[in-house]
Each structure stands twice: as structure tokens, then as C-alpha cells.
Amino acid sequence: MKKILAIFTTAALVSAFALTAAASEFNFYGSIRYNTISINRMLNNKDHNDYPQRIALKSDRDTDWGLWGHSRVGATIKLSDQLTGVFELGVGDEDLKLRHFYGEYDFGLGKILIGQTWHPSSAIACYSSQIWDEDDGLGEHGAFYGGRSEMIKLSFGNFGLYFIEPIIKNFDFFEANTVFGHNDPIRDSASTDFDKSIPQIAASYTFTYDKLTLEGMAAYQHYEFTDYNNSTATKNPRPNHYDKSLDVNSNFFKIGATVDLDPFTFSGSYGWGDNIGNMGILAYSHYGYNPVAIYAEGTKAPIGPAGIYDVETSGYTLVAGIKINDMLSFQTGYGYIENETDYWAHFKNTEAHSYYLQAQIKILDGFVITPEIGKIEYGDQYTFEKANEDTEMYDGGDISYFGAKWQIDF
């Protein structure tokens, strides 16, 4: 029923837009992306609240077979030489969502865009074509990916200035003197308040010279968090110093370069930031870990005062490709990501590696099959179960996969 509703809604929207075609220039397009991938996960077999040292891993094998949710249908619209627009819907298995919806005005010296489209972290220095996890492109393992955001964007040639809808995401929550693993997000919304006073601000720049392209972006976000009077665990009043706002700051920057030495292409990127999950930029999440700020609660924290603790994330990617001919090309890539925090009860250091090899086989224009083999490795995790006790360690596990993406564009 949901699938029928999604198809009906898509058809209705397309028909409604088409009624205005006499006054505008419409170019409709679509992309069908289907996956057939076999996955073997070597995962920890214990709940993360109860880790003995060196837990044995278990194997979990699955086959993904179906339409990916980022299959799409949309149109570009030209109202005049100065005013254009885009709408795009994601169409998956029983899923329909808005991907892009914006208008852009060219005022001569530059352009202004209003609506929803790519966050600059998604548009800048993303070179991988990795098909894993719905064309992730190493996004969670070093390339970084902020998805699509609602924004006002000013463009002046290769320079972009963004004013983005601020993202409010709950952070990890710890009580003082609790065992490792008590990292549930803030849950009692009646006693918490998030105040957004400014938009997320970002900038990007791209420079091209001959066969070399250099690009970079940076973003900053700030909001305040207040936890008023009730302890999540005891429901007892907290000390007065909890009745004040705590700053939650996020920042991120990324740089990248590509060299096109036909038929070879070489690319690389590096990114770094604090609390990037709070501003909506993805990094890997494994065994309950997220790259978001930590809120430590209690009258006495074992290390440092109660409050907000930053999580630092960094990563890089290396990608190489070769085009054999118009029908066949190959690409290989590697991504690395690392997360660190100074808070005692959290993972001290977490890391992951992702690498793959793929072929892109063009059957004919608009129809491409991409077979791929790859592996994701999660490093051993270290933490303190309690303050001043011995370090605990457990295996992060790994994921290996092989299969293909089948894509038809029209």
C-alpha cells in the first residue's frame, strides 16, 4: 500500500508541475539504483554494557536485494535566464522523500539560492564512487557527508557562502560514577531546552588549474543547552549550577585535491572537526558510538567538572581510477576515520578503515553495472569501565562484502 501511495504521489507531483510547462522550460530526469550485495559482518556478541576483555566475534551473513532509497525522479526548471529551479524526490521501496527543492536567482555579480540542496561537506572533496551502503562513497569513513540541508546560499564564481538551518542533535549523556555504557541521549525533554540564535554558517572555494583541482570548505554551528532541575536517574533537584546554559559548539573543515592524468585520476581529501554529529555531518557509528558532544551530569565528575565535553573527529580518503575505454573503468579507494575525547567514561579512541575495488561497466548510455568488493575494519576499542580502574578492551569487528549496483538513468 505504501509503495502504491508513493508511486501515485510522484505521478501527481510530476503532472502538477507539467501543467506549467507552457510558461517554463522543464527537463525531467530519473535514476533507478538497485543493489545485489552479499554482506558478512563479524560483530561483537555482547551488549555494550557488559564487555569482558577480548569478546569472541560472531558472523552474520545477509544479502541485500532491492531498490535503494536514493533512486530518484526530478526536473530542472528554467523560468528565465535569471531564474531557475530544481525539484527531486527520492523513490525507494515503500519510501518517498524530498531530496532537492530550491530556486536560484542570477543577479549578475553572483547567485542566490533558496531551498534545500547539498550541504557543502557533501558537495566539496567527495571523490569516491564506493557503492557500499547506498553509494556511501566513503562518506562515513573519511570523506564526511552532511547530506542535504535547508539554506540560503550566495555564490560568487567559485566561492560559496552558506546560511544553513541549524541542526539540533542530542548528545551522549553520562552520570558521574556510573559504569561504562551509560551513554543514552538526553531523554527528559520537559527539563531540557535548546536555544538556536544563529544559523549554521559555512563557506567553500574551488580552484582549478589545468589538470589540478583544489577545493575546501569550513562550517561552524553554535547553540545553547539548558538542563533545568530534574535528574534523569534520581529525579532529585540538581545543584543551582545546572540551571544555566551550556554552549554546544561544532566546527568542521575539509580540503581535497584531484589530478586528472588521462586515463588515470588521483584524488585525496582530509577533514577535521569537533562535535560534527551535532551539526549533521556523518562519521561512522559503531556499537552505540556517535561523534557528538558528551554531557556529563552529577555533583562530582571523576575527571573534570560536569558539563559539555567535545568529541574530535578526523579522517582522510585516497582514491585512484583508470578509464580503459568508454565502456569500462576501474576505481579503488581507502578511507580512514578517528574519533577522540578526553572524557573518562567514553571511548578514548575509536577508528575505522574502509577500502574497496570496483569496476564500472557501461552496457549502453544510461545503463551502468558496478560490481564491487570491499571491507570495513573497526579498530579495538579502549575505555575505563569505572574511574581509576584498568582499561577494558574489546574487538571492533569488521564487515566484508561483494556484489553489484545496477543503475539506469533516464
Would strands 311-323 and 159-164 be described as parallel, antiparallel, or unpaired? unpaired
C-alpha cell at 72: 530518484
Question: Stretch 69-80: mean pLDDT, rounded?
Answer: 94
Stated as kind and residue range, the H or E segment containing 10 is helix 2-18
DSSP class per residue in 32-76: EEEEEEEEEEEEE-S-TTS--TTPPEEEEEEEEEEE-TT-EEEEE
pLDDT for position 56: 57
Contacting residues for 357 by C-beta, under 8 A, at least 6 apart: 330, 331, 332, 372, 373, 374
pLDDT bucket at 167, cuts 50 / 70 / 90: confident
Q: How do residues 172-208 score in pLDDT, each as one tens digit? A: 555 444 333 333 444 444 456 778 889 999 999 999 9
DSSP class per residue in 144-172: -B--EEEEEEEEETTEEEEEEPPP----E
pLDDT-wise least confident of 121-130, 142-151, 296-305, 396-405: 296-305
pLDDT bucket at 226, cuts 50 / 70 / 90: confident
pLDDT-wise least confident of 96-110, 135-149, 229-243: 229-243
Alpha-carbon separation of residue 156 from 84, 113, 315 (angstroms): 17, 12, 29
Nearest to 345 by CA among 383, 310, 379: 383
Q: How do residues 260-288 score in pLDDT, each as one tens digit? A: 999 999 999 999 999 998 898 977 755 54
pLDDT for position 356: 98
Is 80 exceeded by the pLDDT of residue 24?
Answer: no
Contacting residues for 86 by C-beta, under 8 A, at least 6 apart: 74, 75, 76, 77, 100, 101, 102, 117
* Whole-number Å distance between alpha carbons of 356 and 161: 34
Alpha-carbon separation of residue 312 from 271, 291, 353 (angstroms): 11, 8, 17
pLDDT bucket at 105, cuts 50 / 70 / 90: very high
pTM score: 0.84
pLDDT for position 154: 98
Residue corresponding to grid cell 572524557: 343
pLDDT for position 237: 43
Alpha-carbon separation of residue 365 from 131, 228, 354 (angstroms): 20, 60, 30
Would strands 172-175 and 294-297 be described as parallel, antiparallel, or unpaired? parallel
Alpha-carbon separation of residue 240 from 122, 229, 237 (angstroms): 42, 8, 9
pLDDT exceeding 70 applies to what percent of the chain? 70
> Are residues 202 and 218 in contact, defined by beta-carbon separation less than 8 angstroms?
yes
Q: 2-409 is classed in which CATH architecture?
A: Beta Barrel (2.40)
Q: Which residues pair with 391 in a beta bridge?
A: 384
Residue corresponding to grid cell 562550517: 219
Is 80 exceeded by the pLDDT of residue 242?
Answer: no
> Are residues 248 and 223 in contact, defined by beta-carbon separation less than 8 angstroms?
yes
Question: Stretch 22-46: mean pLDDT, rounded?
Answer: 85
Is 50 exceeded by the pLDDT of residue 301?
Answer: no
Mean pLDDT of the chain: 81
Instruction: Kindly report the backbone phi and psi dihedral angles of residue 209, in degrees, each rounded to the nearest multiple of 5, phi listed first.
Output: -140, 115
Is 90 exceeded by the pLDDT of residue 295?
Answer: no
- Return the domain boundaries, the chain: 2-409
- Better pLDDT: 395 or 262: 262
- Better pLDDT: 290 or 118: 118
- Better pLDDT: 94 or 79: 79
Q: How do residues 327-372 score in pLDDT, each as one tens digit? A: 999 999 999 998 887 665 555 567 889 999 999 999 999 999 999 9
| Cβ neighbours of 406 (radius 10 Å) | 16
Burial readout 21-38 (b: 16 or more C-beta within 10 A, e: otherwise): eeebeeeeebbbbebebe
C-alpha cell at 264: 588515470
* Whole-number Å distance between alpha carbons of 46 and 317: 31
pLDDT for position 143: 95
> Are residues 229 and 212 in contact, defined by beta-carbon separation less than 8 angstroms?
no
pLDDT for position 224: 85
| Cβ neighbours of 250 (radius 10 Å) | 27
- Better pLDDT: 57 or 276: 276
* Whole-number Å distance between alpha carbons of 101 and 261: 36
- Better pLDDT: 257 or 13: 257
